[in-house]
Structure 1
Amino acid sequence: MKPDHARELEALLARSDIALAAIDDIGFRVPWPEALPPAGERAVPLPPSRSTLLDVLVPSDAAAVAQAWERRGEGRVAVTVHLREDPRIEAELIFFDTLDSVGAVVAVFLPGAESSADGTQAPAAIPREALTTSQGPRNAVVVKSLKAEVLSADARMTLMTGWSEDQLRGMRSSELVHPEDLDRAVRAWLELRNTGRSVRVRVRHLCADGSWLWVELENRYGERDGHPVVVCEMVDLSDEMAAHEAARSTARLFRLLAASLPVGVVLLDDDGAATFASAKALELLGAPTVARLDDVVARFAESHRAQLEAAAADALASERKVVLDAEISPGDATARWCRVEMAHVDDDDGGRGVLVCLTDTTERHELEAELHRRAHTDALTGCANRVGVHEHLGALLRAAPPTSGAACALVFVDLDGFKAVNDELGHAAGDHLLAEVGRRLRSAVRPVDLVGRLGGDEFVVVVTDVEPGELDVLRERLLHDLNDVVDTPAGPARLAASCGAVLSAPGDDVDRLVARADARMYAHKRERACAPDRGHFSI
């Protein structure tokens, strides 16, 4: 047992307001271990027949107690219970696994609260008589011949199964075991006959009324009137099996519910192990199975994995729900987007975990991306619009250190004589020319650079990683690509433009940078006006 569990048990054994019980390795109450401090009046008196703690608890607590008992190997497991004698009385039942040190598991009942008629809660003592209540005999002894015929049965057998000793005498064991369990029972019997070792086996035993009772049988050799016999001790497992069935029913219900949901569900324990993954979750993740949180995280794009791991840790440690959007990259399948919701969950026996819900948001994400593209793109040219240009420029300028060099270069492009095209060839020809300008500008720069249309015949080009000496080269390349004759639906038109190029400076904002580039462009336009042979619109 862990040191902190040992210290907690030591502190509890010093209290006077608790009830104590000792339990053997298969769940039956046994005398209080002599190796522990005397329990005195705090010890739960043993009933005449073998009994489990389930006998004193309400049936609805059986599943939670059975699950807690199965986890006793953790050293310390707690579960909230209600007494069969008075279900209003609530207690905390704590199992301490002291089998190795004292030969029994220690069960501690801590006082809880009692619900009054008006719904208020008040501290409640634990009545000792409630803890000694038994539903009747939980075990019986049957003596059989070496041919597995019943020779005798004690009175407890009648109370458990309804069979009298006279009715049982002469019956073979195979007549009393459920057909589906017969092979298991025969194997245990043969093991005893061949090796002499005592063997336990769980089967369904026929009752006098035709019903079946889950029991654990332990056969061992004995002697009667000088002849060898087999003594069979039978233990009633009905409460335990009912608890297991209740747990299985709950699990089945959870699986059915999860299967009917339009979202994927993954349930993780506090160690990150996946205890459940719905078919929808596996479909969304593109994974055949999920064993751990790592398997879930690995299905997402690498840029989102750290966020997902942090969200799971946050959800486990707190009571709040964590929500984020992340991209699934399932290898050869089409990438998808998911809304990932992680919430802290507790089970009835004190276990913690994280419930992960996955909702396919690919269509919504694609729609939002399309709406964003439309809001930031000029429909005619396919270039960024004024909003897109300002957002892109603003982000570059904000990201630049205040004392560093240029964050970017901005080229302001204004078409020369564009009004004449619209007036003489029509707006369809003008639109065709504008679209051609956008295409040529995009072809002249890198994919990482931005081409935008501010409105009318005004364009800008935003370029990063440009040295001062490269700026004139860029401007001349753009002027060259925009000096041409373009075929339009209404006929050919001469294309020419004026350009102003500047590097950003520390302290620039978007408006100041655009204004400086605009001023440079007008200076160039004035130069072109003095030299008309260098290019303008002509029809």
Structure 2
Amino acid sequence: METESEPYIRLATLRQLHQVVADLNTARSLADTLQAVADGVIAGLGFDLSAVNLVRPDGDLVVAAVGGSAGAEALMAGRVGSRCSWERRLSMGDRWGDLRFIPYSEGWVLDDDDVPQWHTSGPAPRFPDEWHPMDRLFAPLYAAGASGGELIGVISVDKPRNGRRPGAWGREALQVYAFHAAVAIGNARLRGNMQRALLRLEREQQALRASEESFRQAFEYAPSGMAIAEMGGDQHGRLLRTNDALCRLLGRPASAMRRFSFSDLVHPEDIGTLLRTSAEGGRAELRLARRDGSYVWVSLRNSVVADAADGPRFLLTHVEDIEERKRHELQLAHRASHDSLTGLPNSAELRARLAARLCATPPRPGGGYDEEAASPGGAGAGGVYVDAAGHLHGFDDFECFGTPPPAESVPFDGHVHTIPPNEDSNADDGHKGLAVLFCDLDGFKSINDRFGHHAGDAVLIEVARRLTNGVREGDTVARLGGDEFVVLADGLGRADAQDLAVRLRNAITPPIRVDGRAVRVGASFGIGWAGCGMSAEEVLHSADQRMYIEKRSRSKERRRAG
């Protein structure tokens, strides 16, 4: 997790974290889940060594899984540490949210306790955040995933690959992973209980009444939602029975739930996903309707309960509330794609939005379409067509629109091409395009130098606010880095773009109050135009160069500084 401030590193870490979290739910047993938890730390969080310590019924913790080192596994697997020793460890050191970090300078008192460990001595760190071999980092696992629940285990990690103590992003990733690991372990235990109950129903016909009671209790008192639905016939999918957890989740009484099937409750956009999970072992994440009309994200896992003689009898569905996980995913995705200071889209998000508007097919100068691209072997592979407004289109099957294609046109591919205005003429020909305004603040460095970075940050936040208020809904204002901003505004002519640049410059120049003093910055704008056939980098470079031309052309007296 080196250079954690880099958005692309955060996105890579987020993808890895999502993958290892998804892998937790594919394990078939509790033992597989515990090993998946240990291996996920190695694969997704940047550590070379991990161990999962699971709370036993007597309260002590046993090393249930080790990842990253066969030698450490041979040394530690199956060994037990007392509960009092673990409670001592979790009460020491630094609290990083739910994490516990014990630096080597404090951890020497733990060398002789009974907790299995692999730590070795080493030289003093060369710099403040260097990882020492005797440093200890623990991620407690709590029932239901929340820190206020019952302790069910502890993840121990060591040997970060970058040789440094985790920063804020690494800590957050480890905490999120520990949250999902605790949920996965709880679900594995629940699935194990349910499977044992179902096996008893099949194998112990002579104790059917006891088996049914065991199943009833597991069903009714399960912490996650459970439902039984009919299979086959006219009533296929109708809910026969729901537990209290599912009724509370959806805000509906059990008597009302029996009037529905999951297809009646699922979000319209998720009906296809629900139908694909009807088979045995089907699993999906979708939204179900609450009584108040809102929707909640859930994970559905289906199991077919069969009779040896009559075949499938009903469908048992496990419904897990994943609203919190989805919220965490959205928060992490937002952090990875937005600037932490101003809240604007960051450089990576800007390039992604810009690239989404561009394709590799360049328009011909003066309108029309590229014959090579329109040919079957060309980049258009399906053809292109220029509408009356000068936009370049392509299509595969014009008949789906209900009207025949123009005689001179070729099949349509559905993409609306972005065409820049004619740069060879100073006149505004009325063409509308995607304007890219590159903004660089004038005099910002002097504010940083004179008043400090706190004042500079306040100026950047205020400039971001003024730029956002100065554009239309649907336009993009992004912070490229430092004191550089970029505005994407579609549907503008050349005069419109010039007017927008003037309005935004005038919005920026009024004084900004920072810590009781008024400071001022100016702004230089360069206007570029995006067009298909260009890359995002080419578009931004073009606007950047025009900004510098504009900056040099304006006299120093007209550029306001703090």
TM-score (norm 1): 0.48
**Structure 1 or 2: more strand by fraction:** 1
- Structure having the higher Rg: 1
